[in-house]
Amino acid sequence: MGARRGRGLVAGSCLALALLGGGSVAHATGDSTGESTPAADAGAQATATARPTGDGVRPVASPVPPSPVVPVDEGSAVDPAAVQAAVADELENPWLGGRVSVTVRDALTGEHLMDAAPDRETTPASLTKLLTAAAIVTVLPMEETFDTTVVGGVGQQADDIYLVSGGDMLLDRGHGDPDAVVGRAGLADLAEQVARARGPEAPPVTLHVDAGYGAGELAAPGWSDYWLAEGYTGPITMLGLGEDRAFVYHPAPRNPTQVTAAAFAEALEDAGVPVEGDADDQVPKTSAPEDAELLATVSSAPAGEVLTLALADSDNAMVEQLARQAAIRAGIGVEREDINQWVIDQVAGYGIDVSGVRLSDTSGLSDGTTIPARVVGDVLVAGTSGEHPELERVLGDLPIAGYTGTLHDRFLADRQEPARGVARAKTGSLPGVTSLGGTVVTRDDRLLVYVIIADRVDEPLILEARATTEDFVTELARCGC
């Protein structure tokens, strides 16, 4: 066969700093896999007006961010009665659907300032990812990278080469960008290393792909074909291209491993390494020989940066993939029920009472997951205690209200200006569910932790309910408590 023809928040000391009034340019992708739902898509570019006051919408981006920090570790202590009075109207708003679970804490002391059914077993949507992140950081070093390698056979199989997955689903088909998270490692770099290792006179290669690392289900059992087909999530893969991440109405390929292998075949051809077969041939999935020779390696961004991106974009597949890698590191394996239970056990390891927690997946997309607001609040407080630096780091990079991640297009009404830039949150959205959990700085420079989950919202009112949760956080920011 001839050669292949190429195809044309910050916690502890860090939480003493909070962004005020400015921020980075809005995240280009906006709400991702778990944060836009069919009921909300029609109004995804606007925040509902909770009270018809004619409030305007401010620009999202600040071309020259103002001074980004203000100390909050010595802010005035908060009066619980004042907090309860500040948010009373928002919690009584019928747009929330009448079933709400709330907790507000002092981030520095852990004191409960306000609770409303905090132990209710609610559907948290993507707030589930906060528990998963808390588990991941206990075993997966945040400075570690995920390596994609190419190995070659020996002896008579010397012209067989193997693209070996290593947990990077953000590869670039071209050259890697050392300053990027998506596309830190590039297939062109990998191919050029292979070309140098083999030399200019080497014969064509037969390409295989070894996808044995972390191999498991491509989708959680609760993920419907609709979620995948419409881009609310993509397959769980240990080898993928960053350009193929799923976003709403931009679905990921159903076989990202094969797409990546085909892209690598093209990169090899471009680097002067002929590949046996035709361009449309499937790249065979084959385990690399144990004695194979290492030919090339490229490394992803550090795990901490990848996890931060996964939370900022609420990328279901990426969170599931990282949870699987962490579970493998912990010796748990790749089975769904085992990983779910491992996450719960790791959260309990922080000293948190996990009563009422049931996980159907680790991203919050599947039906059947329940987490009380109290448990999410406990995770957030653990991340602001200064005792868990890796969790502190992750929570310190949650999206900023009005500026980044899944909050880039929220908190935009004029009445919500007090929260813009001083609140961080993980968002959660499912049909009939809206939730927020994060940190906010009060008018008196006190850092608070908050969680609000409404899981019986009338779907036609989901945007109004979302705006009400934003107003809840705004009142905390406005509070001179």
Backbone angles phi, psi at 441, to 5 degrees: -100, 130
Tell me the β-bridge partners of 400. 424
Q: Provide the pLDDT for residue 357.
A: 98
Q: How confident is the model at residue 189 (pLDDT cuts 50, 70, 90)?
A: very high
Q: How confident is the model at residue 19 (pLDDT cuts 50, 70, 90)?
A: very low
Domain ranges of the chain: 14-140+307-478, 147-301
The top-scoring range by mean pLDDT among 153-162, 229-238, 387-396 is 229-238
DSSP annotation of 329: H
User: What is the per-residue pLDDT across 259-315, written as a single tens digit (0 to 9) for each?
Assistant: 999 999 999 999 999 999 887 889 999 999 999 999 999 999 999 999 999 999 999
Q: How confident is the model at residue 8 (pLDDT cuts 50, 70, 90)?
A: very low
Higher pLDDT, 294 or 153: 294
Q: Provide the pLDDT for residue 197.
A: 96
Architecture of domain 14-140+307-478: 3-Layer(aba) Sandwich (3.40)
User: What is the per-residue pLDDT across 99-141, written as a single tens digit (0 to 9) for each?
Assistant: 999 999 999 999 999 999 999 999 999 999 999 999 999 999 9
Please determine, for residue 62, whether its predicted confidence score (pLDDT) is greater than 70.
Answer: no
Three-state secondary structure call for residue 150: strand
User: What is the per-residue pLDDT across 394-407, written as a single tens digit (0 to 9) for each?
Assistant: 899 999 999 999 99
Amino acid at 77: A
Higher pLDDT, 56 or 456: 456
Within 8 A by CB and 6+ apart from 179, the residues are: none
Please determine, for residue 70, whether its predicted confidence score (pLDDT) is greater than 60.
Answer: no
Please determine, for residue 251, whether its predicted confidence score (pLDDT) is greater than 60.
Answer: yes
Tokens of 442: 């009060």
CA distance 360 to 368: 6
CA distance 442 to 430: 29
Q: Provide the pLDDT for residue 56.
A: 36
CA distance 270 to 6: 8
Tokens of 45: 């570019």
Architecture of domain 147-301: 3-Layer(bba) Sandwich (3.50)
Percent of residues, the chain, with pLDDT higher than 90:
79
Higher pLDDT, 364 or 277: 364
User: What is the per-residue pLDDT across 202-248, written as a single tens digit (0 to 9) for each?
Assistant: 999 999 999 999 999 999 999 999 999 999 999 999 999 999 999 99
Please determine, for residue 34, whether its predicted confidence score (pLDDT) is greater than 90.
Answer: no
CA distance 48 to 353: 36
Please determine, for residue 22, whether its predicted confidence score (pLDDT) is greater than 90.
Answer: no
Instruction: Please state whether the predicted TM-score (pTM) of the whole model is above 0.85.
Output: yes
When pLDDT is averaged across residues 448-456 and rounded to a whole number, the result is 97
Least confident of 129-133, 434-438, 477-481: 477-481
Residue 172 contacts residue 178 (beta carbons within 8 Å): no
State the virtual CA torsion across 80, 83, 89, 90 in degrees, nearest 10. -120
Please determine, for residue 25, whether its predicted confidence score (pLDDT) is greater than 90.
Answer: no
When pLDDT is averaged across residues 416-440 and rounded to a whole number, the result is 97
Nearest to residue 158, comparing CAs of 198, 196, 101, 115? 198
Q: Which residues of 158-188 are buried (b: 16+ CB within 10 A; e: fewer)?
A: eebbbbbbbbbbbbbbebbeeeebbbbbbbb
